[in-house]
Chains A and B, each alone.
Chain A
Amino acid sequence: MSNEPKLTVIPFGPQHPVLPEPVQFQFYVDEEKIVDVLPNIGYIHRGIERAAELNDYRRNLYLCERICGICNIIHGQTYAGLIEKMTDTEIPIRAKYLRTIWAEIARLQSHLLWIGLFAEAVGFESLFMKVWRDREIVLELTEATNGHRIHMGTTVIGGVTKDMDEALIRRYQKDMDKLKKEMDDWAHVFRKDPAFLSKTVNKGVLPKKDAVHSGAVGPVIRASGIPQDMRNNGYEAYGELDFEPVVYDNCDVQGRVLVRLDECYQSVDLIKKALNQLPEGPIAVKNEKFPDGETIYRTEQPRGEVFYYAKGNNTIHLERVRIRTPTLPNIPPLLGMLVGHDVADIPAIVHSIDPCMSCTERITDIKEVA
């Protein structure tokens, strides 16, 4: 199709104002309509998996936390969970609850970041400023917890490093109420504003069947009516918090906005619920064994399912580490969503999957130059 002479090729990225990170799409367009899309990833490959094989398995925790800035808390918890599964370490119940609370804090700040960026991508700059100002509440909580706005760094293999005292718990509860009030201020814009809806409704349609067949994960598949969420498996403390995934049947960009918006409210509720039933006890156990055998571990990140595989050989090093982050399985559905839309809709649709390229790049393909 791409060889037909009348089609025009429009390169989008790797540097583009709407993209926070480098990824390239080549759009084959007929007048204004998109006919075909070719993605090109591999601009920020960092060799994380190889580094994880060369490192001591305990130091890998800090490496995995730095795969992605936004999901650093959940990356750390997933790696710690993987090693705990390999070494049969049962972490204390209080540590499980604390991890759940901080994972939801991470989801909250990621979704608020995305909502702000999305508002900017559709040309709603004042809303972007407002959402990011409210995101500061969450970032200040992260800083108050362990002294860093983004990299919380509370996870260790066998538990957590930091306990929450009464004052911090009270601050969390107060700030969650404050955040909920602030979100009510702008949430209606995403649900009702006609200018906003004209950019999102019936754009980037991904039918239920295609969502399953192309292997979408996270809010993308939940906006197509499928309640697929790793938190359903009840890892950490999710099993005790009566978790129900947020599902919408819209199948379009608006559905993805609503899923993330409702997940913000859900995260606030989950944090408050977990704080209310926070059990007493120790926060960490010592991990004595070396990892051995093959294991997989999956958790739900703000963008979808993250998959960790590791193979140990009873030494301090891991033989193989494989990490699949949620943006990679969301790229094939994205290509289907874009076809048939106008060029002006590209930013909103590309942004609707919340692409995080630094997470994604695990493979690099060096092309031969003739």
Chain B
Amino acid sequence: MPSFLGNIIENLFGKPATVKYPFEKPEPVPGTRGELNFNMAKCDQCQDCERTCPSAAITVYPEEKRIEWNSFQCIYCHACVRACMHEAIEPLINVEAPDYKKRVKSFEA
């Protein structure tokens, strides 16, 4: 213990290394793998994202030109972003907060 005493005293008077999370939110780092956001103007309903998704979180309805994305099933691997040949998925840079309801987000053309 004595060999570490200097460090303990330093910490007593130093600044905290953590942030008070719910009150101060840290800025997301550029490139954070956040929520999916489908740009339906670019999308041609090819279903590549649905086929690639390892957790089956994306469902494409080609007739209705609609995409459903289950944010609570998504594992945020962004395999769909890499698979989309029209670059129609423009993910947000955020960290999604937990929710009381398991919402499914719908994107329509």
Q: Which residues of A contact B (CB under 8 A)?
A: 55, 58-59, 61-63, 66, 124, 126-127, 129-130, 133, 136, 140, 143-144, 146-148, 151, 153, 161, 185-186, 188-189, 192-193, 195
B33 within 8 A of A: yes
B29 interfacial by beta-carbon distance below 8 Å: yes
B7 in contact with A161 (CB, 8 Å): no
Taking a contact as CB atoms closer than 8 A, the residue among B29, B75, B76 that contacts A144 in the complex is B29
Counting chain B CB atoms within 10 Å of each CB, which of A147, A161, A195 scores highest? A147
Within 8 Å CB of B3, what residues of A? 188-189, 192-193
Rounded to whole angstroms, the CA-CA distance of A62 and B77 in the bound complex is 8
Q: Choose one: B1, B4, B11, B31; the contact of A186 (CB below 8 Å).
A: B4
0/1 per residue, B1-38, Cβ < 8 Å to A? 10110011001000001000000000001011110000
**A147 and B31 in contact, given A62-B77, A133-B17, A195-B1 (Cβ under 8 angstroms):** yes
Q: Are A148 and B8 in contact (CB under 8 A)?
A: no
User: Cβ of B46 < 8 Å from any Cβ of A?
Assistant: no
B32, B34, B52, B77 interface centre (most CB from chain A within 10 Å): B77
The reply to whether A193 and B33 contact each other, CB–CB distance below 8 Å, is no
Q: List 21 A-B contacts (CB under 8 A).
A: A61-B54, A62-B54, A62-B55, A63-B54, A126-B8, A127-B4, A130-B7, A133-B17, A143-B29, A144-B31, A146-B33, A147-B32, A147-B33, A153-B77, A153-B78, A161-B82, A185-B7, A188-B3, A189-B4, A193-B1, A193-B3
* Complex: A55 Cα to B78 Cα, angstroms: 18
B104 interface contact, C-beta 8 A: no
Contact B31 A193 (CB under 8 A): no
B contact residues, range: 20 to 34
Whether B109 is near chain A, meaning CB under 8 Å from some CB there, is no
List chain B residues, Cβ under 8 A from A124: 1, 4
9 closest A-B pairs by beta carbon, nearest first, are A62-B54, A59-B54, A147-B33, A147-B32, A147-B31, A133-B17, A143-B29, A193-B3, A195-B1
Contacts of B29 in A (CB 8 A): 140, 143-144, 147
A126 lies within 8 A of B4 (CB): yes
Q: How far is the CA of A232 from the CA of B77 in the complex (A)?
A: 31
B window 36-94: CB within 8 A of A:
52, 54-55, 75-79, 82
Bound: A195/B34 CA distance, A: 45
Is A136's CB under 8 angstroms from B54's CB? no
A60's closest neighbor in chain B, by CB? B54
Given B7, B17, B32, B79, which contacts A148 in the complex, CB threshold below 8 Å? B32
Contact A62 B75 (CB under 8 A): yes
Q: Pick the residue among A62, A126, A136, A161 that contacts B11 (CB under 8 A).
A: A126
